């Protein structure tokens, strides 16, 4: 795969990606949290080897995930979820020895279990939407652990 790690990433894209990584890595209990490296497809004449690749994780280095720059918020969220699941898999002894097809299937299932970011949102709007979603989900978990009713957790609770 040919790619070039890029430092020139839209600030809103980077902020959104950082929030996604913080929330999803926390939910997967990945500690320490992997750092994000954005890459741009690299062209070699008429060949663009990384054209179909939106992200990847190296089995030998689960401290970094590589994400293609320039993705829309909805796709960026899904790709980060998928790659973070691979990091969690590769850090676990029980998952590390599974075949690649099984790991891909599991990461894809996880990616589809996460909420679908509305496609019309900008990065900053998607970030606010995701933070609200995370607060709602956290409140639901707390309520379940405390034995509270679903009614208690149905409204948005804003943390300031």
Closest to 38 measured CA to CA, from 59, 58, 54, 20: 54
Rounded to two decimals, the pTM is 0.80
| CATH code at 3-117 | 3.30.2010
What local confidence, expressed as pLDDT, does residue 1 receive?
45
Q: Tens of pLDDT along 63-75?
A: 999 999 889 999 9
Residue-by-residue DSSP string for 56-67: EEETTEEEEEEE
Query: What percent of the chain has a predicted confidence (pLDDT) above 70?
Result: 81
Q: How many helices (H) and strands (E) would you count in the chain?
A: 5, 6
């Amino acid at each position: 795969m040919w790619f070039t790690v890029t430092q020139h990433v839209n600030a809103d894209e980077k902020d959104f990606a950082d929030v996604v990584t913080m929330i999803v890595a926390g939910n997967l209990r990945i500690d320490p949290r992997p750092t994000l490296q954005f890459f741009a497809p690299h062209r070699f004449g008429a060949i663009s080897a990384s054209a179909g690749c939106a992200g990847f994780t190296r089995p030998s280095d689960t401290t970094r995930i590589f994400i293609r720059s320039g993705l829309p918020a909805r796709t960026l969220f899904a790709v980060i979820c998928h790659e973070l699941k691979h990091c969690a898999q590769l850090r676990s002894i029980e998952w590390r020895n599974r075949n690649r097809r099984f790991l891909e299937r599991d990461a894809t299932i996880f990616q589809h279990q996460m909420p679908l970011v509305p496609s019309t949102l900008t990065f900053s709007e998607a970030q606010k939407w995701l933070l609200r979603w995370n607060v709602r989900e956290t409140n639901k978990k707390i309520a379940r652990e405390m034995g509270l009713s679903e009614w208690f957790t149905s409204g948005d609770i804003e943390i300031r």
